[in-house]
Structure 1
Amino acid sequence: MIGTWIRAAVLSLGVGVTAVAAEDFIVVQSTTSTQNSGLLDAILPEFRSETGIEVRVVAVGTGQAIKNAMNGDGDVLLVHAKPAEEQFVADGWGVQRYDVMYNDFVLIGPEANPAGVGGQDVEAALAKIAEAQAPFASRGDDSGTHKAELRHWSSAGVDVAAASGTWYRETGSGMGATLNAAAGMGAYVLSDRATWIAFGNKDGMKILVEGDPKLFNQYGVILVNPEKHPGVKAPQGQIFIDWLTGPKGQAAIADFKLDGQQLFFPNAQ
């Protein structure tokens, strides 16, 4: 309902989107994967060219991005933890959630593969890693990737809290830093595929488990509720959301590739 009002308010100004947004900016609280992969650097100049709106990105883990948005430190939230996103809206912090795009998670490990994991079943692989007490590097930062990882450990019947500091190592860092840590210690690690493709230090590491439907990774976008935080630039934020979920934004996402590989797949409704 608020989103409809925002669109009506923009249209009622009687000017084009570019005139409304000229020399303006919004702050988007987003995940490290959208930044580390290069996606936002690739598509945001097109948005600014069309609308005049500069997008300033704060790239942190999903959990921190949600906290920042709850504090009013942003206009738009672009993250990948759907249950947490839906709770954000249900609690009144966000206006409406929209699907944007998806990719998947992959389980990466050393080529020596001491736990002998492989195939498509991520929970079976995690159970084998725990049984072998092989090193595993976790982000441990309440990010969308960390939330997904913890769900899979729980489904595998493994209490990683009890193993913390032994074979289970929490970096408290972003995806790139955690991949570097895993490479350094010869550890297994769960990563979103986009960050892995963009990651430079692959020597001695490879994807060992992929293709499990449980590894599906959905991204969503939400306007921060201006009724909670009057400083939110709601018209400009909604323009960005409409562009990102519309034909031009969806095409820009689909066109973004590294080494010939598509990193994100648009699926806005």
Structure 2
Amino acid sequence: MEQLKIGDVTVTWLNGGEIHLDGGAMFGVVPKMLWSKKYPCNENNQIKLRTDPLLVQVDGKNILIESGIGRGKLNEKQKRNFGVTEEAELDRSLSQLGLTVNDIDFVLMTHLHFDHACGLTKWENDKLVSAFPNAHIIASEIEWNEMRNPNIRSRNTYWRENWEPIVEQVKTFTEEMEVISGVKMVHTGGHSDGHAIAVIESAGETLLHLGDLLPTHAHQNVLWVMAYDDYPMTSIFAKQKWLAYGIEQQAWFTFYHDAYDRAIKWNERWEIVDIVKKQ
């Protein structure tokens, strides 16, 4: 498992599963001849994507960012449609660190689409239960409301089985929320109306997890946004703001979906200063 240290914070990528989605959908209006130079695709135009939660450990707290695609949550048709080649192995990943799901204190959700939220619940004795029974689950109020009342478009990704068992654990915020000292969530909108990002600061260092505003290293261009985005112009404005902030702070940018790079630090010329590769 790859790790990154920023100040007093340790970040570890867990195994949340692997999917393959259409490259055109992931890069929106960007021509394939451009995006395929930065991110490879297969003969079906699909690109390999991870769904790997980030375990953030600081001040004795265990914090997950995102939850993976879970295990046993998708039927065979869904696995085929979403190109699932690996389901989550969070129990095993945590065990290697001497932890269990009961040790997770917070789960920070940038948004609640199925590929981020399926890992929040699990099957136990033919019943869906919380996967992290002792955790506070943090999401924006807008996102939580749409999760429970999806519209004709979003009902394909906001699934009842991913929220009903965790109702009592969810804590929401409007614009910004400090989860613990140095770790906060900020609402951005864009990819979804309630999309949020995680900002971590420790000992003069900064980490930005921009969720699906920056799903892979290849989405660094502010105009390269997904066809999946509900509000693409909002995504662009949010990327302009937070990419600029990250460059100014010499921040690490971390990824949930990237199958090749875990984290990158860029300079003002967008040259790679430091990188954590997936092994």
Could you say which TM-score interval applies, normalised by the shorter chain? under 0.3
Using CA pairs under 8 Å that are at least 6 residues apart, name the structure with larger relative contact order, 1 or 2. 1
Bigger Rg, which one: 1
Structure with the higher fraction of residues in helix conformation: 1
Structure with the higher fraction of residues in strand conformation: 2
TM-score of the two chains, using structure 1 as the length reference: 0.27
